[in-house]
Amino acid sequence: MEGLPLLISVLAAERLRRAHVDLHAQARERIEEGRLAQLEEDANAQPVDPIRVPLPPAHRIAATSGGFEFRVPAGFGPLPAALLEQWTAAAGPALATVADLDADDVPMLLSVSAAGPVDAATERAFWRLTRDLRGGVRQAAAERRLTIDAGPDACLIGGARALHYATTAHEGGTQVRSRSACAIHGGDAVEITMNVQPPLEARYLPVWWTVLGTWIWLRWRATT
């Protein structure tokens, strides 16, 4: 999982910069803290439109942890067991998956993973990554050989603070296009990623928004 560690690294670098402020310059420290608090306040006050659900929801998918559920259109469902075993062996445990059940192979795969606990300071500053720290996210992605094609932008997933963005990775001469979202709920984060073959992105993008737009948090535990 690259998403949340990448985003958190930008916030951590900002905190490290603050830690190097001259210890004797207490007045400047207070001014800096006030400026950062205002940046957080401005980021958290930005208007966020509800996610529109573009396709009729047909089936319910629940997390293995029982912590959330969402809906998918007809023809989509969890990755079949044999393929799921291969996927989790390579990528780690998944709380939920979505695949095109009518496709001959796996042209798209949406996976939800637990991303661990998030402290209150990080949660308060999270949406700064869409504003004054946006450039830092793109730089951190580039260092990981990722190109951010869109975002990060603020959104609400089931009412929880979240970010969504699009990336392209180059792996062995092949382009891998991903849509990613990170949501924080109850002090824990989940990472939602849809990998898709680039020529088919427009076809599957409505599925992505349908998942995010129908998301409901239940008895939340960010575990598998």
pLDDT score of 210: 97
**Distance (Å, whole) CA 209 – CA 202:** 12
Phi, psi of 51 (to 5 degrees): -75, 125
Looking at residue 224, its pLDDT comes to 41
Q: What is the CATH number of domain 3-14+46-217?
A: 3.40.1000.10
Among left, alpha and beta (phi > 0; psi -120 to 50; other), residue 145 is left
Strand order in the sheet with 108-117: 76-77, 96-100, 108-117, 188-196, 174-185, 160-171, 146-157
Residue 10 buriedness (CB in 10 A; 0-12 / 13-18 / 19+)? buried
Q: Which residues of the chain have pLDDT under 70?
A: 1-2, 16-33, 219-224
Domain positions in the chain: 3-14+46-217
Question: Does the CA dihedral 68-184-165-127 come out positive or negative?
Answer: positive
Distances (CA, A) of 100 to 77, 78, 105, 160: 7, 9, 9, 27
Q: How far apart are the first and last CA of the chain?
A: 15
pLDDT for res 175: 80
Q: 3-state DSSP call for residue 145?
A: coil
The pLDDT assigned to 28 comes to 58
**Cβ atoms of residues 220 and 68 within 8 Å:** yes
pLDDT score of 23 = 47
pLDDT (tens digit, 9 = 90+) per residue, 142-189? 888 889 999 899 999 999 999 999 999 877 777 888 999 999 999 999
Q: Minimal CA–CA distance to 113: which of 181, 47, 59, 169?
A: 181
- Is the pTM above the cut of 0.85? no
> What pLDDT was estimated at residue 43?
86
